[in-house]
Amino acid sequence: MKRLALAALTAFATPLAAGADPDPSDWAAVLDEARGQTVYWHAWGGSTTTNDFIAWVGDRVLADHGITLNHVKLTDTADAVTRVLSEKQAGVVDGGAVDLIWINGANFSAMKDAGLLFGPFAEALPNWQLVDTAGKTVRTDFTIPVEGYESPWAMAQVVFMHDTADLPQPLGSMQAILDWSTQNPGRFTYPQPPDFLGTTFLKQALVDLTGDPAILSGPATDQNYAATTAPLWAFLDALTPTLWRSGRAYPATGPAQLQLMADDEIDLAISFSPGEATAAIANDQLPDSVRTFVLDKGTIGNASFVAIPFNSGAKAAAMVVANVLLSPQAQARAQDPAVLGYGTVLDLAALSPDDRALFDALDLGIATLSPEELGGVQPEPHPSWMVRIAQDWASRYGVVR
């Protein structure tokens, strides 16, 4: 993710006046107002499978609710955040360019703190009653309380994809990854930060290497930052020369990293989707010798969310899209490895027999770990760690794209 202008966001934290907003608790009125509206959903556009899923959602909301969904493809979520901030500074309180954002972590925290979001709305959505609020991290986002200002739609957990033709056994820790990479130079890399998957690798390394993961639940400060991150920099100092192209170049995105594995240039790659390897095998993007593993102490997991800017002119329709994303039909489709392979945010025990059957019928595929094999989920660090680590990585190891 691009570095956020946090100071600028904080400076404009006073809410601006706007017209009457739809009441999420009056769903009949929301549906009536939503019909005929157009939603501009600003979401990452770097994956064909994700783009196809969003197009499917667009077909659903058009057929069922008369809503037109336009996918504004982003390379960086911060671009949409900056757009909303600029509109607020200019006094644009209605009819903004962004109606819905796929958002997480630091971007959500900054928008919420700056009063750039509509809500609370999420827990008033009709399909919220199906959400697993006890077993899934859907009420916090990178330790930040959601408080109804964003709605979850997918669960993710870090896994490592390995080509068993060259790397037969899983690696149980970051130290084991370093040892293997040292013995097999050039066969591992990760996307270049600030790409979200690249910063995820940095966070996962920090979580696995730190002696006190609990400290990461609070903000990074001048008092705790240097000592806490020292093991990370020592690890990266040793790892970087062993990487693909000796760490002098990095794939720009997750799909670019996958292409390196498909071309047999690397044997190990990081993913935030437990089903991505199976989906890639099914789409002939990866060889069928690829499998996945998690680290012995567990890996980071989180939910993907959608949020509605304060000045959207299509808030009703945006809420309907968020509700459709929580439907069993959409959730089962997203979990299908042949489509996306994301985890569901729903409580399967809360579903009707017919809706539960949608999930029971899924074939998770040869490269997807079972929930038991995925094991314990490590919580995301506070967003301030990611922001600061990404900045320091760029100054230590960054290369110009």
In angstroms, the CA 129 to CA 327 distance is 11
Cα 184 off chain centre by: 30
Going from N- to C-terminal start, the domains of the chain cover: 18-153+305-364, 157-301+378-397
Q: Is the dihedral of CA 316, 317, 318, 319 positive or negative?
A: positive
Reported as half-sphere exposure (CB side, CA atoms, 13 A), residue 219 has a value of 5
Q: Is pLDDT of 91 > 50?
A: yes
Say which residues have a Cβ less than 8 Å from residue 360's Cβ, sequence separation at least 6. none
CATH H-level, domain 157-301+378-397: superfamily: Periplasmic binding protein-like II (3.40.190.10)
* Angle of the 174-183 helix axis to the 225-239 helix axis, nearest 10: 30
Q: Is pLDDT of 10 > 50?
A: no
Q: Residue 301: which of 375, 249, 362, 218 has the closest Cα?
A: 375
In angstroms, the CA 376 to CA 384 distance is 23
Mean pLDDT for the stretch of residues 221-230: 96
Mean pLDDT for the stretch of residues 246-261: 96
| Single-letter amino acid, residue 361 | A
Regarding predicted confidence, which is higher, 348 or 24?
Answer: 24
- Alpha carbon separation from 347 to 24, 74, 127, 132, 154 (Å, rounded): 22, 30, 11, 4, 12
Mean pLDDT for the stretch of residues 75-87: 93
Q: Is pLDDT of 388 > 60?
A: yes
pLDDT value of position 104: 86
| Token pair of 91 as six digits | 């006094």
Q: How confident is the model at residue 246 (pLDDT cuts 50, 70, 90)?
A: very high
In angstroms, the CA 124 to CA 151 distance is 10
**Taking the C-alpha atoms of 240, 244, 247 and 249 in order, what is their torsion angle to the nearest 10 degrees?**
-160
- Report cis status (omega within 30 of 0) of the bond before 120: yes
Q: How confident is the model at residue 16 (pLDDT cuts 50, 70, 90)?
A: very low
Its CATH architecture, for the domain 18-153+305-364, is 3-Layer(aba) Sandwich (3.40)
Please determine whether the domains at 18-153+305-364 and 157-301+378-397 fall in the same fold group of CATH: yes
